[in-house]
Amino acid sequence: MCGIVGYSGEQQASEILLDGLERLEYRGYDSAGIAVISPEGELQIRKTKGRLKVLKSLTDNGRVFNGSTGIGHTRWATHGEPSDVNSHPHLGDRNTIAVVHNGIIENYAEIKEYLISKGKVFSSETDTEVIAQLMEYYYEKERDLMASVYKTISNIKGAYALGILCRDYPDVLIAARKDAPLLLGYSDKGHFIASDVTALLKYTREVSYMDDGEVAFIRKDRIEVFDEFGAPVEKEHHYIDWDVSAAEKQGYPHFMFKEIMEQPEAARSTIVPRISSGRIAFENFSLSDEYLKSINKIVIVACGSSYHVGMVGKYTLERLIKMPISVSLASEFRYADPLIDENALIIAISQSGETLDTMEAIREAKRHGSKILSIVNVKGSSIVRESDEVIYTLAGPEIAVATTKAYSTQLIVLNMFGIYLAELLGTIEKEEYIQLIAELRALPDKMSAVLEDTERIKLYASRYFNQESIFYIGRNIDYALGLEGGLKLKEISYIHSESYAAGELKHGTISLIDNGTLVMAVGTYGKLLEKTISNILEVKTRGADVIALTTDSHREAMEKAADMVITVPEAPVILLPSLGIIPLQLFAYYVALMRGCDIDKPRNLAKSVTVE
Ligand code: F6R
């Protein structure tokens, strides 16, 4: 969603801010702006609705501003439509304080009313403007910068990551955080703040993560951090090992295509370090064997594609550990008064580690005494810090809004945890365990083999990219795969899709099948193949065109029923979704490409969803 970058150092700030914002574009935004303090203490601001290139041309690529301390922002509108005036940074009405903000201020209306009664004049509809106005109000009364920051944050309710400038302090950048990500970056040439590490990779790998309630004063030569009571805090420094090139297109037409192609490598990076001497082991894993043996329920909570990973996991983990697994949309779980206690393990799945709904679901589970194991891609993210244990997906930065390699690595981690737990609980035979380890090792090469057959998928996409609606059907793991396939298609191509459990179709949805309707039938699970074929015949009888996805050994059977067939190599059932998802991702990608869609930045979507 919104992005923040800030800098105080020896270089011109505006170019660094614009470059950092460019690297945050992938998160989704509708307007952008920067503020830089001039050496004479003037707050210079440019902000505009639309893409960053508009801001760049308005500022001659940042050259119109002289100054080495500044803040930048990309906004994804919540309070107030996307417009120049609602864009960040926001100023107090005396032009003393400038603020950029990610998050939502819940009591902004009440504060605004108070400030208006004190004579403050507002210019935007945003919740953020009240922060700038309130801080300026305190600062003008007391002339104490630190005190006015603390007074402001103690009066606002909600979530915030803030970057603040005061024109009387031309070399100081202030940051504050509560329930929204913000990190500090360290380098010889100056210091940084950012809402997402990708904004800083070009300048530094040394970062620390701000915690809730903390305030930081950032200058060219030092960063001072204080806790919620104003006491100094020593921050732990972390080294980010992501490669800058991993966040660049490197000749690929889209990040999404690049990330689809990177899946074998991402899978290898995620699998290999977790297998040692033929057994699965997670580094520094703190959930004890005794604790894991005491759990009687697992609940997976997540949103969107991460939820779809959970849907696959329900089938695969129940099979492995013979324990009831429930999967809940995080946004529903948190208000459902869940029936969990200290014997329930909650698995939270999140690529970004910042999804607010998932975070709130974790907090709800903790109130019930349950432990949280999270599966996350971004180190140091908020969900990691609120979990009892984390297993990272080692997918590297994922830039395209539509997830691909993060989904695949989440699936792998969840299955690896299932196999690990099955061995511990004694619910898996030794031979099957050994076979699964060997198959996990072989998985990246099988994924590469699937990626070799892109031409066939492109051909099918060219036949159907003009469809109004596409149906995905499947049973068991294939139903879960269909859910993700359908979501991929919807989000990047804007074609309506329905994903149905194949046996459920005849209970209503089959009325939508007509001559020429495309049905994508997912049938990788050999045991249920015949059942899925019956469902294919049902839709074919009603005029549908069917593309079937199955494994190599079932090609012939599928060819008798479907119009077109795509196959993936054989694998144990729990690993099949890691192969089956690839053609579905590619199909959505090519359809969107042929429709001329903005694949990496689909309309209305954001990469990390930090609002409820
Ligand atoms: C779809 C997609 C979203 C995310 C969802 C959860 O391609 O990316 O559905 O999966 O917003 O995000 P995370 O995994 O960051 O919690």
Q: What is the CATH number of the domain that holds 405?
A: 3.40.50.10490
- Ligand 1 binding pocket includes 358 (Cβ within 6 Å): yes
- Residue 378: phi and psi, rounded to 5, are -100, 115
Residue 497 lies in a domain: yes
* Residue ID of nearest Cα to ligand 1 atom 10: 305
Q: Are residues 306 and 199 in the same domain?
A: no
Q: Are residues 520 and 564 in the same domain?
A: yes
**pLDDT tens-digit profile of 28-62?**
788 999 999 998 899 999 999 988 999 999 999 98
Whether 612 has a pLDDT exceeding 90, the answer reads no
Q: Look at the chain and report how many structural domains it folds into.
A: 3
* pLDDT over 70 percentage in the chain: 99
- Ligand 1 binding pocket includes 374 (Cβ within 6 Å): no
Residue 437 lies in a domain: no
Residue 601 lies in a domain: no
Whether 110 has a pLDDT exceeding 70, the answer reads yes
Residue 398 lies in a domain: yes
Strands 238-239 and 173-178, by their bridges, are: unpaired
490 among known catalytic residues: no
Q: Are residues 520 and 380 in the same domain?
A: no
Choose which residue among 403, 413, 414, 491 to substitute to test ligand 1 binding: the one with the highest number of ligand atoms within 8 A of its C-beta.
403
Q: Are residues 521 and 414 in the same domain?
A: no
Q: Are residues 72 and 188 in the same domain?
A: yes
Residue 372 lies in a domain: yes
Q: Are residues 193 and 161 in the same domain?
A: yes
* Residue ID of nearest Cα to ligand 1 atom 11: 304
Taking Cα atoms as reference points, which of 166, 169, 225 lies closest to residue 193? 225
CA atoms within a 13 Å half-sphere pointing along the CA-CB vector of 507:
5
Q: What is the pTM of this model?
A: 0.84
- Would you place residue 379 in the very low, low, confident or very high pLDDT band (cuts 50, 70, 90)? confident
Residue 612 lies in a domain: no
Taking Cα atoms as reference points, which of 442, 368, 417, 398 lies closest to residue 197? 398
Average pLDDT for the chain: 94
DSSP 420-473: HHHHHHT-S-HHHHHHHHHHHHHHHHHHHHHHTTHHHHHHHHHHHTT-SEEEEE
Residue 404 lies in a domain: yes
What is the 247 CA–ligand 1 centroid distance (Å)? 18
- Would you place residue 240 in the very low, low, confident or very high pLDDT band (cuts 50, 70, 90)? confident
Angle between helices 430-451 and 263-271 (to 10 degrees): 160
- Ligand 1 binding pocket includes 74 (Cβ within 6 Å): no
Whether 544 has a pLDDT exceeding 70, the answer reads yes
Do 346 and 362 contact (CB within 8 A), yes or no? yes
Among 375, 394, 428, identify where a domain stops.
428
Give the residue carrying structure tokens 């360290």. 186
* Residue ID of nearest Cα to ligand 1 atom 13: 350
Q: How many C-beta atoms lie closer than 10 Å to residue 378's C-beta?
A: 25
Q: Are residues 209 and 252 in the same domain?
A: no
User: SS3 of 266, please?
Assistant: helix
Whether 241 has a pLDDT exceeding 90, the answer reads no
Q: Are residues 515 and 397 in the same domain?
A: no
Strands 518-522 and 545-551, by their bridges, are: parallel
**Alpha helices, DSSP H only, in 322-429?**
330-333, 356-367, 382-386, 405-425
Strands 232-233 and 69-75, by their bridges, are: unpaired
Which pair of tokens denotes residue 284? 């520094």
Q: Which atom of ligand 1 is nearest to the CA of 402?
A: 7
What is the largest distance, in Å, between two alpha-carbon atoms of the chain? 81
Q: Are residues 140 and 47 in the same domain?
A: yes
Strands 183-187 and 190-194, by their bridges, are: antiparallel
Q: Are residues 80 and 121 in the same domain?
A: yes
What is the 428 CA–ligand 1 centroid distance (Å)? 32
Q: Are residues 234 and 370 in the same domain?
A: no
Cα 190 versus chain centre, distance: 29
Residue 213 lies in a domain: yes
Across 139-157, average pLDDT: 96
Whether 141 has a pLDDT exceeding 70, the answer reads yes
Domain around 566: 452-594
**pLDDT tens-digit profile of 441-494?**
999 999 999 999 899 999 999 999 999 999 999 999 999 999 999 999 999 999
Do 82 and 111 contact (CB within 8 A), yes or no? no
- CATH code at position 9: 3.60.20.10
Q: Are residues 256 and 125 in the same domain?
A: no
607 among known catalytic residues: yes
